[in-house]
Amino acid sequence: MLFHIAEVADWQQARTAGDYRVSTRGRTLADEGFIHASRRDQVLGVAETFYADAGPLLLLHIDPARLTAPVRDDEVAPGVVFPHIYGPLNLDAVTAVTPLLRAVDGTFVLPDELSDQPPS
């Protein structure tokens, strides 16, 4: 399973358009050439690093077997690998959409259905 952090307005726009084309906060697929994704164990680090001051967020759960665009693991720093989707995210590859919530101290927490699973 792959994951992508989305702002609510971006997900709503994708549902209207028929596919998702936001790479990361403030950047589109056209800007970056791919859509940033994460594995479960990477989600919270990405959220804290890039979305700490963002409003309500959603976590898109993506089945890589359903993607119509290629997905590739890219080394973004020595020894640090993230999955990237090289094309629009087809909506039927998104198997669930859950709020990405914050704890009382403001840090992000995984949705309950992910917090007790082994890393993917």
CATH number of the domain residue 45 falls in: 3.20.170.20
Q: What average pLDDT does this structure show over 2-6? A: 97
- What was the pLDDT predicted at 114? 81
In a domain, 98, yes or no: yes
Tell me the CA end-to-end span of the chain in Å, nearest whole number: 6
| Nearest of 19, 41, 26, 40 to residue 85 by alpha carbon | 19
Residue 116 has a pLDDT of: 58
Q: How many domains, in total, are found in the chain?
A: 1
Domain coverage including residue 28 = 2-104
Identify the burial level of 88 via C-beta atoms within 10 angstroms of its C-beta, where 0-12 means exposed, 13-18 middle and 19 or more buried.
middle
Looking at the chain, the whole-number percentage of residues with pLDDT higher than 70 is 95
Residue 82 lies in a domain: yes
User: Is residue 81 situated within a structural domain?
Assistant: yes
Residues 71-79, mean pLDDT to the nearest whole number: 94
pLDDT of residue 111: 82
Residue 118 lies inside a defined structural domain of this protein:
no
**What mean pLDDT is predicted for residues 32-38?**
97
pLDDT class of 117 with cuts at 50, 70, 90: low
